[in-house]
Amino acid sequence: MRVRLQNFLQKYYEYLLIPLGFIIFIGIWHFLAGFYPAFILPGPGKVWTRMMEYWSKGLLLQHLVTTSFEAILGFVIGVVLALPFSYFLAHHPFFERCLAPYIVGLQAIPTVALAPLLVIWFGFGLTSKVLIATLVSFFPILTNGIMGFRNTDPRLAELMAIMGAKRTQVFVKLELPSALPVIFGGLKLGITFSVIGAVVGEFAGAGKGLGYLVNAARGSFDTPLIFVALIILALLGIAFYLLIAWMEYGLLPWRRHQN
């Protein structure tokens, strides 16, 4: 019996860690909530009740869809802009050296400080939120794209050129497959950053969205509702990350054996 238990744990311990960690986290949270009033640290039960109230009214889904759309649209635009630009800079080091100070400078500006300015310029609507999500997702994708495209073995590129391969064939058959593992690392960062960017934009000014929900709950000291929004945001980021990981798993079959 003991040997069977050991074999079971050795085989499935990775799958047990996540639910076990979740149970421990909920237990600690419930324990600590007993020492504080609900407006400071509400217990899991109060947060769950508040979540069900908002979900039954359809309000939570409305805010979730708004933030998700802003984050996804900003991420897609960031990908479309960053990947071609990273390919260009990877093959033209001179331009990379010229633009590097500006890229680093823009990346160093806190999103929280930039968001109010974009809201002033583009209003409280969708545009400002998408722009912020695009900006925060653009840079990790750009950086990883440059590193990825530089992973190409120049000897293999020369060999393909000698064998008569066209430039597009070298890109499709060699450069892109070599760069994809690193690019997907940037995509995983970019998709989670885009959620942060959308929420920061909603903090600066919005009429709906999870960031707006946090602001509204803060104004009314509805701490359980703040926890609800934070939990949904965490789950949203995890879902987006897993989506990119699933795409990586499907598009890069050789990575399955490495992992």
Residue 108 has what pLDDT?
Answer: 82
Residue 77 has what pLDDT?
Answer: 95
| Exposure string for 93-108, b = 16+ CB within 10 A, e = fewer | eeeeeeeeeebeeeee
User: Which stretches of 163-208 are DSSP H helices?
Assistant: 167-170, 176-204
Maximum Cα interatomic distance, the chain, rounded to a whole number of Å: 74
* pLDDT tens, the chain, 259 aa long: 555 555 555 555 666 777 887 888 888 888 888 888 888 888 888 889 899 988 888 888 999 999 999 999 999 999 999 999 998 998 888 888 888 888 888 888 888 888 888 888 888 888 889 999 999 999 999 999 988 888 876 776 666 667 766 767 667 677 777 788 889 999 999 999 999 999 998 888 777 888 889 988 888 888 889 999 999 999 999 999 999 988 888 887 766 555 5
What would the two tokens of residue 57 be? Answer: 């009214």
| Radius of gyration of the CA atoms of the chain, in A | 23
3-state secondary structure of 239: helix
Residue 2 has what pLDDT?
Answer: 56
Model pTM?
0.85
- CA separation, residue 178 to residues 147, 148, 181, 208, 247 (Å): 10, 7, 7, 41, 16
Residue 41 has what pLDDT?
Answer: 86
CATH class assigned to 44-253: mainly alpha
Task: Find out whether 179 and 149 touch, Cβ atoms under 8 Å.
Answer: yes
User: Which stretches of 57-206 are DSSP H helices?
Assistant: 59-91, 93-108, 111-122, 126-149, 154-162, 167-170, 176-204
Residue 157 has what pLDDT?
Answer: 64
